[in-house]
Chains A and B, each alone.
Chain A
Amino acid sequence: MKSIFQAAILILLVSGILIFINHELNEGGSSGKNTITVYNWGEYIDPDLLKQFEEETGIKVIYETFDSNEGMMGKIEQGGTSYDITAPSEYMVEMMAEKNLLLPLDYSKIPNIKHIDPYFLDLPFDPKNKYSVPYFWGTVGIAYNPTLLEGQTFESWDSLWDPTLKQRVILVDSARETVGMSLNSLGYSLNSTNLDELREATDKLKALTPNVKAVIGDEVTQLMVNNEAAISLTWSGQAADMMYENDDINYVVPEEGSNLWFDNFVIPRTAKNIEGAHAFLNFMLDPEVAAQNADYVGYSTPNLSALELMDPEVVEDERFYPDEETRSHLEVYKNLGLELLGVYNELFLEFKMNLR
């Protein structure tokens, strides 16, 4: 009996000490007026830049992370938090704007917007960039490792259906990407709302079953790097991560077309320090900052002036900075509404259940 109470007191004591240490480490972490809370994906910014921003502006940055667009929106919608900046993907910008969760940007406070490639501005998901500035962008394509293959190439989506690729292909656990790939291979739009086209795409996807090794998420990077998998449907950002660690891997955007995606900075309704949030946006659009950040994260930046400051070998890599011709085949996701999103996911679930 005594030992139970002793243990309890010991735990309280240890917790007390830890709380004290933590308090000391947090030095004045009180959310005074000049702080902003940035809500971003994990490891998606160069931490040195946050320090630089704090030094230049005197605004303290509190950094929190999320792991999915939907989870992030759920938190912002419910309130109770005071995020000043967050980084949704393009379809999520549209959805959040629809739900009235975003504040319009004041471009008089973001002069650095002039550095952004006009090609990436005023897109349908956010006309006139009322709510968002692009942060990183990329494509969806096929990452493959030629050393594990027998000379197959992937200029076309259809080459995934090659019968010699039994159990070799990894798909991504996301309905829009995987069903979209099948739609693209049939020559349909990624944003198809035609149920017959969707049915046809699902049936074609089911025919891919013998070639499918697994349907997974972010773990694909590790599998490709380990040579565990030879071919995967993946986002260009992740392909860049793979290639950084395994030189054998290549990435291609098939010619039938594919998806063009964006991650964007927005100021959500929960913002408390709107002035500071604008300062942060302007800071991140500074060419030197953007170049350093792109170098750290390894994704493609939409900042034209930054490109001039970056390693030409990176900037001229057509796989990650595709030319006009390739770009013209790319489509940005439209927000199809929850009902159709449900249909995509049901069809995708049907395909997944068919895997065994």
Chain B
Amino acid sequence: MERIGKLPKLYLAIVFIILYAPIFYLIFYSFNSGGGMSDFESFTWEHYAAVFEDKRLIVIVLNTIIIALLSALLSTTIGVIGALAINFMRNKKMRNAVLSLNNILIVSPDVIIGASFLILFTMIGVKLGFASVLISHIAFSIPIVVIMVLPKLSEMNPTLIDAARDLGATRKDVMTRVILPFIQPGIFAGFFLALTYSLDDFAVTFFVTGNGFSTLSVEIYSMARTGISLTINALSGIIFIVTVALVIGYYALNRKMKAPLAGVKK
């Protein structure tokens, strides 16, 4: 693979600086002994200490992560099935119709999704709380997965399947050994963006939650009127650092395990 030049490096550097600027800004002020995100007074760890003292906050953070992971996993599963179904549709008109239906939840503002899901849940008698929030997050993350997987499916060369079939592969083999590996990047993209959807959502969760169950977004938005405390900044800082560490750690581990195989390439 060709080496990356100076100009592209600079370009990427700028993109990354902009992407991380607001996060570093948040983390910077999490060390502020003053009350808010301006006028840095002096350095303190007190907001970090406050995070670990607040058991309710920790429970909420864990709730948020559990919901995000499970909803992303399940929506990815259903979304991949959906993408396969759409891709294999014979009737082009039907295909477009289903694809449009798929995108409705993306275009609908959260208030509408939240309100209509709430009506739906109370109608069929789902108890508001963990289950209703999980189901809603799965529901609004499915379309993004479908959209991420579809282009990979349409890129796939049908001769691959023919070849596999000629070699006597069963239906299951074709799926697990040919199709899924090929669309894997699309699946991962869908999964990660589903995580984003879940972690970012406020309005839908607000409507469908209840019985003491809360997520971080709901908590943060409802603080807006009286002012978001720097404890939340500190918390975001911790989450951010842990996430980056996990991602880099996982990546390094993965490479190490694969290294003996890939070693020759280097």
Contacts and interface: CB of A to CB of B under 8 A. Distances in A.
Direct A–B touching in the complex (beta carbon < 8 Å)? yes
Interface of A: 1, 3-4, 7-8, 11-12, 14-15, 18-19, 21-22, 25-26, 29, 31, 37, 41-44, 47, 62-67, 71, 74-75, 78-82, 217-219, 221-222, 225-226, 237-238, 241, 244-246, 297
Q: Which of A42, A63, A71 has the most CB of B within 10 A?
A: A42
A43 B122 contact: no
A80 B206 CA distance: 13
Given A31-B211, A222-B37, A44 B58 contact: no
Contacts of B55: 25
9 contacts: A3-B184, A4-B184, A25-B55, A42-B221, A44-B225, A75-B210, A80-B210, A222-B37, A245-B34
Contacts of B218: 65
A64 B229 CA distance: 17
B212 A62 contact: yes
B132 to A, nearest CB: 8
B207 interface: yes
A3 B126 CA distance: 35
Contact of B212 (A31, A78, A241): A31
A44 to B, nearest CB: 6
A80 B115 CA distance: 13
B161 to A, nearest CB: 15
A81 B59 contact: no
Given A18-B69, A71-B206, 10 more contacts: A15-B66, A15-B69, A21-B62, A42-B224, A43-B223, A43-B228, A80-B121, A218-B225, A218-B227, A241-B226
Contacts of B228: 43
Contacts of A225: 36, 38-39
A12 to B, nearest CB: 7
Interface in B188-219: 191, 206-207, 209-212, 214, 218-219
A277 B103 CA distance: 44
B164 interface: no
Interface string B96-128: 000000000000000000010011011000111
Contacts of A244: 35
Given A18-B65, A43-B227, A80-B118, A12 B73 contact: yes
B211 A81 contact: yes
A66 B69 contact: no
A25 B56 CA distance: 9
A65 B226 contact: no
B33 interface: no
Interface in B7-44: 34-39
B224 A75 contact: no
Contacts of A43: 223, 226-229
A79 B128 CA distance: 9
Contact of B222 (A29, A66, A74): A66
B133 to A, nearest CB: 12
A237 B70 CA distance: 40
Contacts of B37: 222
Contacts of A75: 118, 206-207, 210
B224 A18 contact: no
B224 A217 contact: yes
B54 to A, nearest CB: 8
Interface of B: 34-39, 54-56, 58-59, 62-63, 65-66, 69-70, 72-73, 77, 115, 118-119, 121-122, 126-128, 176-177, 180-181, 184, 187, 191, 206-207, 209-212, 214, 218-229
Contact of A67 (B69, B184, B221): B221
A4 B187 contact: yes
B63 A22 contact: yes
B66 A4 contact: no
A25 B62 contact: yes
A3 B250 CA distance: 13
A114 B136 CA distance: 46
Contacts of A41: 222, 225-226
Contact of A1 (B59, B62, B176, B221): B176
A64 B212 contact: yes
B219 to A, nearest CB: 6
Contacts of A47: 54, 56
A1 B118 contact: no
B2 to A, nearest CB: 27
B170 to A, nearest CB: 15
A19 B130 CA distance: 11
Nearest to B250: A10
Contacts of A66: 206, 222
Contacts of B191: 7
A1 B219 contact: no
Nearest to A8: B73
A19 B224 contact: no
Contacts of B223: 42-43, 65
Given A8-B73, A11-B69, A21-B62, A222 B128 contact: no
B117 to A, nearest CB: 11
Contacts of B184: 1, 3-4
B176 A67 contact: no
A62 B224 CA distance: 20
Nearest to B127: A80
